[in-house]
Amino acid sequence: MIKWAFNFRSWQPTRSEWIFCGQCIQNEEKERIQRFVFKKDAKAAMAGRLLIRKAIAYCLEIPYKEIKLGRTEKGKPYLVNTVQGSLSFNVSHNGDYAVLAASRNGTIGVDVMKYEVRTSVPKFFHTMRRQFTEPEWSQIRKSTEESEQLKTFYRLWCLKESYVKALGVGIGFEVSRLDFTFNTEYLKEYVVTKDTSLKVDGVHLPEWTFEEHTMDNHCIVVANNQQNSTTTDFEEESGREYEHFKVLQINDLLQCASCLCEPDEEFWEKFDPKDEAPQIHRKPSS
């Protein structure tokens, strides 16, 4: 399995860099990226597409220009090309990072969430009360500190989303059907946890494993179902499975990229004037 991360919030693309990135993705994806209102969302989407194309070229040795991506009816990206061997891959972005997990062994889903502070935690939990089981709410409220409760909340949400994304069923899935149980109560920075278990509609699913990571104030979960797998997974460049997420730079994403179209100046001209993110308007103090 490969696990890659890219900090899109710290990436400030130059004109030539952004235009080149636009040349390295399919036209329909470039048009979709142009429609984002804020730079952070455009950069996150661009990073996701470049991560996917890099993973496919690296894992399946398909020439970059020949890679053709499509989306299922539920929006999950997939490889259109007919090739020998299989590759399950998934991307997610939130906070500062876009992440990708890919494997030849099983079915993959990945989700990332940034631990964010909220002003009214009880109200927020009340709004989300139907998304979690009673045992999960007990886990969330085990700590008396709201900051720790929020971390557990985001952890459980990441677990649920990783599973749903692996299934590729979209947002209609009722996540309250999922019940996760921790064996490791709290995650530690850069320590991988793999002992959380899942029940769906009360039935334990031992074929599913969940790799939980915390990195730079983000929670990342990789869901993997190896029940029907008959292939051998590939190894990282070091000759062994790379356990933690490997943080890539923009040069890494573009290392094997090839142009699919001519340079498009308008792609930069539409991107450059946008705000990075929504402005937070605070009430003036009286």
pLDDT band at 281 (very low <50, low <70, confident <90, very high): low
pLDDT band at 172 (very low <50, low <70, confident <90, very high): confident
Distance CA 71, CA 182 (A): 33
Are 100 and 119 members of one domain?
no
265 domain residue, yes or no:
yes
Model confidence at 236: pLDDT above 70: no
The pLDDT of residue 73 is 84
Under 8 Å CB-to-CB from 268, ≥6 apart: which residues?
15, 18, 19, 22
The pLDDT of residue 234 is 57
Model confidence at 238: pLDDT above 80: no
Average pLDDT of the residues in 88-99: 97
Q: Specify the higher pLDDT residue, 156 or 170.
A: 156
Average pLDDT, the chain: 91
- CATH number, domain with residue 158: 3.90.470.20
The pLDDT of residue 119 is 87
Average pLDDT of the residues in 64-93: 88
Last residue of a domain, one of 191, 206, 228: 228
Percentage of residues in the chain having pLDDT higher than 90: 80
32 domain residue, yes or no:
yes
Nearest to 34 by CA among 24, 20, 46: 46
Are 5 and 145 members of one domain?
no
Are 221 and 127 members of one domain?
yes
The pLDDT of residue 9 is 97
pLDDT band at 169 (very low <50, low <70, confident <90, very high): confident
Distance CA 125, CA 131 (A): 10
For residue 274, give its domain range.
1-105+230-278
The pLDDT of residue 179 is 97
Are 88 and 128 members of one domain?
no
Model confidence at 237: pLDDT above 50: no
Model confidence at 213: pLDDT above 80: yes
94 domain residue, yes or no:
yes
Q: Quick check: 210 and 159 in contact, CB under 8 A?
A: yes
- As for how many domains the chain has, the answer is 2
Average pLDDT of the residues in 188-217: 95
Under 8 Å CB-to-CB from 230, ≥6 apart: which residues?
none
Are 224 and 114 members of one domain?
yes
Distance CA 88, CA 167 (A): 11
Distance CA 241, CA 194 (A): 15
- Total-model pTM: 0.91
Are 79 and 127 members of one domain?
no
Parallel/antiparallel/unpaired status of strands 97-103 and 88-94: antiparallel
Query: 156-171 burial string, b = 16+ CB within 10 Å, else e?
Result: bbbbbbbbbbbebeee
Q: For the packed helices 27-34 and 39-60, what is the interaxial angle rounded to 10 degrees?
A: 160
The pLDDT of residue 286 is 42
Q: Quick check: 92 and 165 in contact, CB under 8 A?
A: yes
